[in-house]
Structure 1
């Protein structure tokens, strides 16, 4: 899955990367083998401390952004049950509502990646937070307005309003992952990259955990509208913290060729490489399972296993807890393996193979069981294995294309969202 240095150089020269990589020590040079090469030297003096603070700030900021991102995403998976009872939606309508998020999510992936590579992930992530938080908080007000002021037409307007609102949330969240990839590629050294991705995704899955854990209690006491308002309003302090702690892209001599390249030419170049197609295929397969877990697991526990809304959400909590923990373990393990001398390509492929085979085996017993004591462990094993992908194909994106990390992830995630 990794590209050979002889076949493609994405802003790095073969053999010049030191494991003690630091963005503050970038020196811009020109070479015969590629247009622009960043030679990186080690930093062992006191001047390296601000860089480490930048690296930690990026990981913390991205982790919190992805946490809220997933809270605003998972809220509909929990609220869909009382909303269905209130508005009488059929299973096909519920599926349409869950899919509407992905319409917006897929539409901004490549666009977000392109702007992140050109303008920096910090700015694009800020815009994404504003959009998805606003869409989440505004959802109950839009539905309420349809019921209150358009009484005669409310039955016909509520569904389109729900679809538009969730699509807007998806559009905002669609730029988050490409922006995160751009930031990690700029600020995190290759020797620590899988671990950083694991830490960020611990926050990502932590958002799912938080949403599943507290949403049923908030809904039981205050109703589903308050749920959306609370989660959306958290975008305000998050955005303030993001602007304060996350550094701007590192300055280098001149403008990087990645920012000069047009989106069309960059995409053509990326699509000409077999490794790009391998990452796209891996992302598609990974997301196929992931979105089923995300959108339908509480409904599965409710409809198939017969639990109430609160119990369904709490049961769904446990597999996500395993996934969050395995995200960190996978990153730490992968970096240990690479730093011990194992070939990076072999590490990525081995971990990704386990991430694919594990869930396919673990979920087979669900075909013939309605026993919670069987179903729950199956989900836990499957989702724990799925989390390994973050140290597999996901980390490989930044391995092979640090200068185009936003665009490459945008391409892969567009396919994964279809």
Structure 2
């Protein structure tokens, strides 16, 4: 019989404690997720992104009815829609920084609690004052706060995935999670449309807000809490050994000066800005476009079809990107290819809609334009994890802050253009030109190599 010495037992316990310490918190760079862990986290993050976008898009869906009831013109509607992105822009860097420091699993539930509650109470905010202008400003403020708390989600999610998923699996993992944005918009367009038609626009906000709160509680206590309890289940005699392991090396700060000197980083900002400009304009104004140009069209059709076909384009692009990388194609080539489909495809279909006259042709063009946006998930959206894997959350926060700017500028300008020119072709044309500019910049300066 083999004899186990005290030293061997202590060595085995020490090794076990090292593994436990590496996984107690995302503030320590530890092992990647196991298959079961990855499935659980991907499902959880996918659901969170779904409800995040459902809360984000419920106002664009309801804005026609809300504007009629509260007597808003298109410029005021544009102000309400764009206000979200003022707040969204403010917290991107903070979200990435905190996620890299204390862990995205800490940041996401706190932020989700706040944006869910704001969504739930939005109808009450609209009725706080009988004065039209005061009521408008209150709704605008609530939209700013909604955007501010939602600004923590994507940087936190990026920080988690960059630390827990291998490079050759990140495209598919991230594209699956990011596809929740289209599912959330689809959920709003289908379920939200039915609820709005049957029970009024107020009930849509209540339902989406409750879904967000439910996800936050399940994520916090069933996934994050369970994992932490598992990692902290250490026998009493092991505690002194943890002290031997130490608390892990402190995080290195982001070398911002070095990063800002890299053309690849600036190409991310420009490309993301241009793609988001198209996406947010379509997201915010597409329901209004169909209401005005095809008033007899069914709302559940044009609010569902574009986002339904975008789900396979987002997931499929990630799957294709990982296959290409595993077959030996460079990460740079794959990222540029995916982004070319996103930006060039969106621009092409936005130009094409100027020549469309029938409802079905217009719906097809806009649906394909949105579907092309899905390729962005395996292009620029995952690129911060390539160029700065140790600081992906912070870099993504800066990039998404730039990407949020067209949310309030582009969406507001689109409303102003419509108010003054009454021309949808002018809106779609200028959006397509911006996409082409972003494509050229990223094609020249973008890279999939680590730069910091």
Q: TM-score band, normalised by the shorter chain?
A: 0.7 to 0.9
Is the 8 Å Cα contact of residues 355 and 387 (structure 1) preserved in structure 2? yes
Q: How many angstroms apart in 2 are the aligned matches of 1:284 and 1:116?
A: 22
Matches within 5 A, 1:148-187: 154-187=131-164
Pair 61,331 (structure 1): closer, same or farther in 2 beyond 3 Å: same
Is the 8 Å Cα contact of residues 92 and 152 (structure 2) preserved in structure 1? yes
Query: Of the candidates 66, 88, 105, which is equivalent to residue 105 of structure 1?
Result: 88
The equivalent of 1:366 in structure 2 is 353
Alpha-carbon deviation of 1:117?
0.6
Q: Please, which moves more after superposition, 287-296 or 374-383?
A: 374-383
Alpha-carbon deviation of 1:25?
11
Greater Rg by CA: 2
The equivalent of 1:277 in structure 2 is 266
C-alpha offsets along residues 99-142 of structure 1, whole Å, 9 cap, x if unaligned? Answer: 00001110111111111111111111112101110110111122
1:91 paired with 2:68, answer no
C-alpha offsets along residues 199-252 of structure 1, whole Å, 9 cap, x if unaligned? Answer: 10222210000000111211122111111111111222211211121456x999
Is the 8 Å Cα contact of residues 78 and 313 (structure 1) preserved in structure 2? no
Alpha-carbon deviation of 1:26?
11
Matches within 5 A, 1:132-147: 132-147=115-130
Matches within 5 A, 1:1-400: 51-147=34-130, 154-243=131-220, 244-246=222-224, 247=227, 254-256=247-249, 259-261=251-253, 266-307=255-296, 311-400=298-387
CA-atom RMSD, angstroms? 2.6
Is the 8 Å Cα contact of residues 205 and 320 (structure 1) preserved in structure 2? yes
> 5+ unaligned residues in a row in structure 2: which ranges?
1-17, 23-27, 233-244, 406-452
The equivalent of 2:400 in structure 1 is 413
Match of 1:363, SS state, is helix
Is the 8 Å Cα contact of residues 26 and 38 (structure 1) preserved in structure 2? no
The equivalent of 2:448 in structure 1 is none
Pair 253,186 (structure 1): closer, same or farther in 2 beyond 3 Å: farther
Q: How many angstroms apart in 1 are the aligned matches of 2:342 and 2:20?
A: 36
Q: Which runs of 4+ in 1 moved over 3 A?
A: 23-27, 37-40, 250-257, 265-269
> 5+ unaligned residues in a row in structure 1: which ranges?
1-22, 28-36, 41-47, 148-153
The equivalent of 2:11 in structure 1 is none
Q: How many angstroms apart in 2 are the aligned matches of 1:26 and 1:225?
A: 47
Is the 8 Å Cα contact of residues 58 and 184 (structure 1) preserved in structure 2? no
Count of residue pairs the alignment pairs up: 368
Alpha-carbon deviation of 1:24?
6.6
Is the 8 Å Cα contact of residues 283 and 412 (structure 1) preserved in structure 2? yes
Q: How many angstroms apart in 2 are the aligned matches of 1:269 and 1:238?
A: 39
Pair 306,253 (structure 1): closer, same or farther in 2 beyond 3 Å: farther
